[in-house]
A = this chain, B = another copy of it.
Amino acid sequence: MAVTLADVAARARVSAATVSRVLSGNYPVAESTRARVLRAVDELEYVVNGPASALAAATSDLVGVLVNDIADPFFGIIAGAVQAEMGATVGEPGRGAEKLAVICNTGGSPERELNYLTLLQRQRAAAVVLTGGAVEHPDHAAAVAAKASRLAASGTRVVLCGRPPIEDATTLAFDNRGGARRLTEHLLTLGHRRIGYVAGPAERTTTRHRLEGHRAALTAAGADQDAERLTVHGLYDRASGYDATLELLRRERTLTAVVAANDTIALGVCAALRDQGLRIPEDVSVAGFDDLPFSADAVPALTTMRLPLHEAGARAGRLALGREPQPPGGVAMVRAELMARASTAPPRA
């Protein structure tokens, strides 16, 4: 069938062991033999059999990246950055083979998340990176934690990017709570008091943390009387933002600002407000979270909290490869930065 190590060995007139050594490059081999082997590899167009070497070596070069929604740039940016760190520089034998980062789309489903973890465990993945908020259902959280421990125990590095720490994993946590708080403080400082909040799905950590930060700011300013009534939950998408905004306006027509749990939702918020004949920011200010690429281009440009997604993803990738030292305590906090733009302004007098 396919060309094997033995074929290469025969052609280069050496043993299979020698070919293996040349290819993995972790063992001294005479330069002349080396050249001969490489030539044979070339002539035969030999390609290592991954499964076979993974079996023999008990390690694979797969790195799994789990995302909630690959069509959402939030995850696309992180995943792309992780993958870029793996540097696909194959084909140059002699220097340890590179890793293959595989992106797995869970669609936010707990079952699929677990399924993918099993699949990766089955593949004996070298590392797993879990990105984005976690589902907070206790059973599921326990199941994920258990899987993570088992993966870690079997030598798979587990890295969390944008979700709360768990045991046996290195984590890059996003400062959702602090960021959300500063964002709402920004609005309060501008003079807003009746602020609507469009939250994400209720059972996710990101949703809860951002909402908590928002509430904390309101409470600190003594402006939290209506907080409950002025909060609407939905999905992290544009349609939810649209619908939620209509609901908010129904509940409180005199809103002067709306904070969205993320930029995508904020887009829907803007659309709904506009359709209701309200101007941004003259009538209602709008703010988002994440600072995705399109946010700066929105009209008006969206005020939001910037999360260094690319940097975080790259760092997660390095941690997954063991190329970067663990942060103290295994946990590092990634801060969010306020990007005050045109979508927020003082309320009408």
Q: Which of A97-105, A194-202, A208-216 contacts B (4 or more CB under 8 A)?
A: A97-105
The answer to whether A70 touches B80, judged by C-beta atoms less than 8 angstroms apart, is: yes
The 8 Å CB contact of A297, one of B45, B48, B54, B268, is: B268
A107 interface residue per 8 A CB criterion: yes
Q: How large is the interface on A (under 10, 10 to 19, 20 to 34, 35 or more residues)?
A: 35 or more
Residue on B nearest A100 in the bound complex, by CB: B119
**Residues of chain B within 8 A of A123, CB atoms compared:** 50-51, 62, 100
Q: Which residues from 291 to 310 on chain A have a C-beta closer than 8 Å to any C-beta of chain B?
A: 293-294, 297, 299
In the complex, the answer to whether B100 meets A103 with C-beta atoms within 8 Å is no
Q: How far is the CA of A339 from the CA of B46 in the complex (A)?
A: 49
Copies of this chain per assembly: 2
Residues of B within 8 A of A107 (CB): 80, 84
Shortest beta-carbon contacts, A-B, top 10: A102-B102, A51-B54, A71-B76, A103-B103, A50-B123, A88-B115, A51-B51, A50-B122, A90-B115, A51-B55
A contact set with B: CB distance below 8 Å: 1-2, 45, 47-52, 54-55, 58, 60, 62, 69-73, 75-77, 79-80, 83-84, 88-91, 98, 100-105, 107, 112, 114-116, 118-124, 150, 154, 238, 267-268, 270-271, 274, 293-294, 297, 299
